[in-house]
Structure 1
């Protein structure tokens, strides 16, 4: 008897149900960190400053259902928006699948354990400060949010996943 492949290997991002789409988020919190973009060069800088709704101790949004109302510039990620967003972390499942890569072994959908993200060094848990305490964002530029953590292993190779974007 052959095993049924997981949905992210058989469906396009556009074809996923809302539940499947939401389950792709590994809960790392990296996308909830503030970014700075230089006006003249468009160069992107990540910071260690978390959105005011992100709990730094858990790396979870404290009001996910109402986040857009409470933080108007919060982005509701969609397959269409993925095409124009360049700031998602390299570990992000949405980005990985859009690039035609598979989910890494530490992703909760693969590992079955939400804590595997923390053990892999991907989570922002305990590594960030709240925007309410930060002061000048320029003083908190950090490279780690935009990098693939060593403990996370190698980035999945580009393959032929059906869930990739055109």
Structure 2
């Protein structure tokens, strides 16, 4: 039987290991964002942090990321509730809002690849910040959306 800790514990009650397991590996939070000066709206870009491994959608230097990228946000239960730029697909955000994890999340599916198969991850959809040029040339909406794809139909025997 699978340990479904995210169903029984509040964010504040999770161990460090459980907290880290909530990350689905989509990489969306590692995309640069802009904020509209007039409306305060968050504008997503398809420009990835230089530390994001765009194949695995994981940080290439997670242990030292905050030293190498000083504005890298360390997620905590309190910050998750305050940050307005986490994508709606984010497990941290979903749980903080009282929602469930979606079918493609590795904790639900049991497979790390489902986040990519479902079209949630940034794999194949982003540009490295070192090659991007001006961020305002890379504004996109998809990081702030949940794709409408449904779970694959399971074959029965």
Equivalence map 1:149-164=2 (5 Å): 149-151=147-149
* TM-score when normalising by structure 2: 0.92
Q: Classify the secondary structure of the residue corresponding to 1:83.
A: helix
Shift of the 105–129 alpha-carbon distance from structure 1 to 2, 3 Å rule, reads same
Checking the alignment, whether the CA contact within 8 Å between 2:22 and 2:107 is kept in structure 1 is yes
Alignment coverage as a number of residue pairs: 151
Give the 4+ runs in structure 1 shifted more than 6 A.
none
TM (normalized to structure 1)? 0.87
How many angstroms apart in 2 are the aligned matches of 1:18 and 1:133? 35
* Paired residues of 1:106 and 1:152 also in contact (CA < 8 A): no
Structure 1 residue corresponding to 2:94, chosen from 86, 93, 96: 96
Which residue, out of 25, 33, 47, partners 1:27?
A: 25
Q: Which runs of 5+ in 1 are unaligned?
A: 154-166
> Residue 109 of structure 1 is aligned with which of 107, 110, 121?
107
**Does residue 81 of structure 1 match 2:71?**
no
Higher relative contact order (CA 8 A, sep 6+): 1
Deviation at 1:44, TM superposition (A): 1.0
Q: Any unmatched runs of 5+ in structure 2?
A: 152-157
RMSD: 1.3
Q: Is the 8 A contact 1:30 1:89 kept in 2?
A: yes
1:30-49 mapped onto 2 (5 Å cutoff): 30-49=28-47
Distance 2:21 2:55 in 1: 21
